[in-house]
Amino acid sequence: MRKNPYVYGMKLDEPVRDPLLGKRRRDLVIDAAKILQKNQMITFIESTGSLSAKDLGRVASNFYVRYRSIETFNARMKPRMTESEVLAMISHSSEFDQIKSREEEARELENLQKMFCPCGIKVSVYKLDIGSLR
């Protein structure tokens, strides 16, 4: 952090004012804890610094589910959902952000969807961005 303060959103003089960067590290921890608490993953009491994991946080940690995915699930989850809605919700998780389909896979994906998909899907299983393939 002291070698490259810009990576952590600091000004160059911050390491000079706080050589051990204790305040900055504390601020980073508090900000992260607030995000996790907002997503129902931990209980955080800022005045005491107390952190305790909730069941959702433990499950996410054990299965390497990102907090952004939990945020997506919290926003999209409904008391009653069809299989299609559950799959659509899961497909919006951040773990799938990097998955891309290739143009030559389009026909095979369409055939798989028609022949082997047991639940109705409201939107296309894939979206090709042909511009990004070049």
pLDDT by residue (tens digit) across 8-24? 888 878 888 888 888 88
Lowest mean pLDDT among 9-13, 32-36, 77-81, 125-129: 125-129
Backbone angles phi, psi at 68, to 5 degrees: -65, -35
Contact 21, 15 (CB under 8 A): yes
Structure token digits, residue 97: 């952000």
Chain-centroid distance of CA 113 in Å reads 27
Q: How large a percentage of the chain has pLDDT more than 70?
A: 89
Structure token digits, residue 8: 């952590």
What was the pLDDT predicted at 123? 53
